[in-house]
Amino acid sequence: MKPRFALGSRAKLIVLLFIPSTLFVFFVVQIAKDYTLGFLRETQNEALAGMSSQVTHLISIYNSEITYNMLEMEQTIKQEGGSGDNLSSSMHTAAQIRSDFVRGIVYIRNDGVITGYPQTFWGNFSEKEEQLVRKQAQESRGVFEWSDTIRSDIGRTGAYGPTSLVTKTVFDEEGHTSGYLAFLVDLSGFLDRSAAFAGSYDTQTLLYGSDNQLIDYIWASPSTQGRRKLIEEKNVETLPQALRYFKEAGVYHSVSYMNTNLKWKVIVVGDVNKLENRFKPLGQIAWSLLLFGLIGFLGIYITVSWWFTRPILALTKGIRKVARGDLEAKVQVKQRDELGELANQFNQMTGKISDLVIGLQRTEEAKRQSDMQVLLSQINPHFLYNTLNTIDIMIDVSPKPELHEMMAVLCRLLQYSLEDNKQPPLEEELRYARDYLHILSVRYGNRFQFRIGSAPSEIARMPVMKLVLQPIVENAVFHGLHALEERQGELDVSVHVEERAVAIYVRDNGVGIPQERLEWLRQALREDVDPGSERGIGVLNVHRRIRLHFGERYGLSIVSEFGEGTTVVILLPRLEDERTLKADGRLANE
């Protein structure tokens, strides 16, 4: 016993030396790292703020240039009378001067004559675009007005690139409207020049319109630029969404607002991770020193504790597996001592438990299948005998069509009962109940009337458990309608679709259920008790089957007024088309 105690003391000493030294080096490295990263982030925030201001200022300059070019074009229009080759040539020159973002120019006279550049822009000028130019220019009352973002195929980015129509009303010498001038501006071109402000790290510049919708974005680095993404577009489609995402994700960014008539916003996002990665080698060096300094202590600790802790850890791991339900777990311990004996006893115990669980599962499954077969055998010999006896009587007294219908209904009932399909569509389950009630109605001389509504089209083919409705209508006939003497019985079955469920209502105007009996049934439904041989076994069996397969949210509920009638509601889950039931009635994708 002494060697074991001595080894344990040494292991404790090693741990006491190992933990303080590890914590000391860890805190030193962490403090240095936090200080360095804090300095980098503060510097980057200042750089991003300056970059966003520079981009905003650059866009303001471009806006001023477009305004100046439109004023010059307005003078040319007045000189040329609103049309002619000279006007087209002037438009070509104006567009080429700022070809990086001016993609087209058009002038629409009051008489409908259109002059523009290039041909691809104004040659197929649609009525919708023409109306947009007219309406926007008229509403601006001579002021330059930018339209909302328009997706055009002549922008810098190709098909459906972001563009905007800048419009102005052109007046003649007497102050009357002579036409409408419009520049098609490629909004992506505004961001091309922002790459010059990228600095020494990667950035992504996002441009938002006055409606806070994302117009365009561009990625830039010290060596290249393009449409690679630091931020996914789906996270920044609107300005409020982008700001919320940046706050939640901890993204470094800067926002700049334009106070001109554009009311645009610019956000510059910096790739702080790439910048921080440059300083990772310092942390790696520190951790390497820590590793080599402590590797000796760790080696001694592992050597000393290996012999004693390995079997205990293996046994602990096996116990955890068993606690999670893995009864097949075995502990592999080769030692021939007390720990080895403990592991062997544990393996024998789990083996016996596994055998007991398997036996219990088989017993429960056999019982469940037996109950299922009893329920699925609702067409018993007694019912078949009575039905055939009724048909025998009908041969002598009933018309031939009624006799044929009775035999056809009986054939369908037998076919449905013999089918192996345990998950028929809802409409077939309704038809089975309808056929069953038809036979009972004829058998009892039409003493009651029944109506079974059709299932709504969206759930008509929904799979349900077999014989979920027939026991309920049978119970309504024999215990509710059969005892009526002074009025004709009525039975109504209807299907209603709810948000996530399907409700089948079975209503009758029978004798109802006495209050004491009703309370017992409701308690049995709540507590899911075994009905045994009690009256109402069919109702309780259906309830138990539904709750077994779909959970306690679903099942039966009963409302009854003694002497007035009873309503039973069957609540089932609404299964989508891609969801089906397994062979035993459970959900396939639970």
Whether residue 472 is found in the same domain as residue 557: yes
In this model, does residue 120 exceed pLDDT 80?
A: no
Whether residue 369 is found in the same domain as residue 464: no
Is 330 part of any domain? yes
**Contact yes or no for 566/473 (Cβ under 8 A):** no
| % of the chain residues with pLDDT over 90 | 15
Higher pLDDT, 103 or 372: 103
Whether residue 562 is found in the same domain as residue 425: yes
Name residues whose C-beta falls within 8 Å of residue 5's C-beta, 6 or more positions apart in sequence.
Answer: none
Residue type at 166 in one-letter notation: V
Whether residue 449 is found in the same domain as residue 356: no
pLDDT (tens digit, 9 = 90+) per residue, 83-97? 777 887 888 888 787
The DSSP-derived string for 165-224 is: EEEEEEE-TTS-EEEEEEEEEETHHHHHGGGGG-TTS-EEEEEE-TTSBEEEEEEE-SS-
The predicted pLDDT at position 125 comes to 63
Is 413 part of any domain? no
Please report where in the chains the tokens 């078949």 appear, as a residue: 384
| % of the chain residues with pLDDT over 70 | 69
pLDDT (tens digit, 9 = 90+) per residue, 481-491? 988 888 889 99
By 3-state DSSP, what share of the chain in percent is helix, strand and coil, each rounded to 5? 55, 20, 25
| C-alpha closest to that of 468 among 567, 554, 561, 559 | 554
pLDDT (tens digit, 9 = 90+) per residue, 354-390? 777 777 777 666 556 645 555 555 556 767 777 777 7
Is 212 part of any domain? no
How far is residue 394 CA from its own chain's centroid? Answer: 59
In this model, does residue 129 exceed pLDDT 70?
A: yes
Whether residue 446 is found in the same domain as residue 549: yes
Is 552 part of any domain? yes
As a whole number of angstroms, the distance between CA 170 and CA 176 comes to 8
DSSP letter (8 states) at residue 480: I
Indicate the pairing of strand 489-497 with strand 448-452.
parallel
Confidence of residue 321 (pLDDT cuts 50, 70, 90): confident
| C-alpha closest to that of 554 among 564, 541, 545 | 545
Whether residue 454 is found in the same domain as residue 352: no
Is 425 part of any domain? yes
Q: Measured between alpha carbons, how far is residue 425 from residues 286, 342, 575 in Å?
A: 68, 56, 11
As a whole number of angstroms, the distance between CA 558 and CA 543 comes to 11
Confidence of residue 514 (pLDDT cuts 50, 70, 90): very high
The predicted pLDDT at position 153 comes to 63
pLDDT (tens digit, 9 = 90+) per residue, 414-468? 888 777 777 889 999 999 999 999 988 888 888 889 999 999 999 999 999 888 9
pLDDT (tens digit, 9 = 90+) per residue, 31-83? 766 766 666 666 666 666 776 777 777 777 778 888 888 888 888 888 877 77
Whether residue 428 is found in the same domain as residue 566: yes
**Contact yes or no for 544/532 (Cβ under 8 A):** no
Name residues whose C-beta falls within 8 Å of residue 185's C-beta, 6 or more positions apart in sequence.
Answer: 66, 101, 102, 103, 146, 163, 164, 165, 166
* For range 101-114, the mean pLDDT: 82
pLDDT (tens digit, 9 = 90+) per residue, 549-582? 888 899 999 999 999 999 999 999 998 643 444 4
Whether residue 461 is found in the same domain as residue 525: yes
Domain that holds residue 470: 419-573
The predicted pLDDT at position 544 comes to 86
Higher pLDDT, 464 or 191: 464
Work out the mean pLDDT of the chain and round it to a whole number: 76
Residue where one domain finishes, among candidates 373, 390, 407? 373
Confidence of residue 521 (pLDDT cuts 50, 70, 90): very high
As a whole number of angstroms, the distance between CA 190 and CA 160 comes to 17
Q: How many domains does the chain have?
A: 2
Cis peptide bond N-terminal to 399, omega within 30: no
Is 218 part of any domain? no
As a whole number of angstroms, the distance between CA 275 and CA 562 comes to 81
Any idea what the CATH number is for the domain that residue 529 is in? 3.30.565.10
Whether residue 328 is found in the same domain as residue 472: no
* For range 207-235, the mean pLDDT: 71
Residue type at 276 in one-letter notation: E
Is 587 part of any domain? no
Tokens (6 digits) for 578? 């891609």
Please report where in the chains the tokens 């055009």 appear, as a residue: 152
Residue type at 45 in one-letter notation: N
Beta bridge partners of 105: 117, 183
Whether residue 350 is found in the same domain as residue 432: no
Whether residue 346 is found in the same domain as residue 456: no
Whether residue 354 is found in the same domain as residue 450: no
Is 480 part of any domain? yes
